[in-house]
């Protein structure tokens, strides 16, 4: 049982490049989330999804896009990478409405130079 | 506007003693409060939680206390062990949909 799997673990981008962070969960969870964590800060919600085909913005969505075509996958797209997007990104999931306990992936460290 | 504050960035405790981590919040609509533990290069892992209808929840060495009138919660770890050295985040939620994370407290347990 892999839980929540994120790829890649590390990536360096140049300013203006684009990339996709992949997230897959095998727990049949309906709810999935993307957070970013900056040094010395808590996790901030970027986007979330309550099921396939449904996504919504979190606290810091600018510069990102998401899609949810299947229950298992929730990729995060960065368009025109900027140094401000240098961060550690965490994907998480939970079963549903009455369960706030999230299961997190190991994180993806992104550096934009 | 920080809804959740963990005012101590770091805490150092001797092995075997009690560790107390604090968290303050401003949103009175939060109805569920979670604590997560994070080791370096790993994702956060769920530790313990409490709903707003309770004022205490205990799980082994870990106890969470909630004071709704003061909008304050705390995590007690006793006795503290070296494996407890990690960053701890409090994360209240409203309606179980979106957690709001504090900045974290780095706990170091000294032998």
Residue A111 is assigned to a structural domain of this protein? no
Structural domain boundaries, residue A57 = 4-101
What pLDDT is stored for residue A99 in this prediction? Answer: 72
Q: What would the pLDDT profile of A97-107 be if each residue is shown by its tens digit?
A: 667 789 999 99
Say whether B42 sits in a helix, a strand or coil.
coil
Residue A113 is assigned to a structural domain of this protein? no
Assess B103–A contact: CB distance below 8 Å, yes or no: yes
Domains and CATH numbers, chain B: 4-110 (2.60.40.10)
What pLDDT is stored for residue B98 in this prediction? Answer: 77
Q: What would the pLDDT profile of A57-96 be if each residue is shown by its tens digit?
A: 999 999 999 999 999 999 999 989 999 999 999 999 998 7
Count how many domains chain A has: 1
Q: Is the pLDDT of residue B96 over 60?
A: no
Measuring CA to CA, how many Å separate A12 from each of A18, A86, B56?
11, 9, 45
B41·A106 Cβ contact <8 A: yes
**In CATH, what number is assigned to the domain containing residue A20?**
2.60.40.10
DSSP secondary structure letter of residue A102: P
B101·A104 Cβ contact <8 A: no
Extract the runs of DSSP E, i.e. beta strands, from A41-95: 43-51, 54-57, 64-66, 76-78, 87-94
Q: Which residues of A touch B (CB under 8 A)?
A: 4, 31, 33, 35, 40-45, 48, 50, 58, 90, 92, 97-107
């Amino acid at each position: 049982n892999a839980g929540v799997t994120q790829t890649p673990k590390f990536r360096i981008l140049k300013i203006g490049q684009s990339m996709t962070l992949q997230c897959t969960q095998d727990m049949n969870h309906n709810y999935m989330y993307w957070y970013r964590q900056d040094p010395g800060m808590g996790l901030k919600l970027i986007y979330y999804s309550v099921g396939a085909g449904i996504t919504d913005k979190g606290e810091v969505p600018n510069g990102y896009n998401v899609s949810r075509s299947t229950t298992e996958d929730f990729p995060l797209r960065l368009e025109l990478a900027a140094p401000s997007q240098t961060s550690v990104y965490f994907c998480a999931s939970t079963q549903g409405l009455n369960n706030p306990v999230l299961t997190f992936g190991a994180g993806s460290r992104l550096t934009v130079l | 506007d920080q809804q959740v504050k963990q005012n101590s960035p770091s805490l150092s405790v001797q092995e075997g003693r009690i560790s107390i981590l604090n968290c303050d919040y401003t949103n009175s609509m939060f109805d569920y409060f979670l604590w997560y533990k994070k080791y370096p290069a790993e994702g956060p892992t769920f530790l313990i939680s409490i709903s707003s209808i309770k004022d205490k929840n205990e799980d082994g060495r870990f106890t969470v206390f909630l004071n709704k009138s003061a909008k304050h919660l705390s995590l007690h770890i006793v006795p503290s062990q070296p494996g407890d050295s990690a960053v701890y985040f409090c994360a209240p939620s409203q309606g179980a949909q979106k957690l709001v994370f504090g900045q974290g407290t780095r706990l170091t347990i000294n032998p």
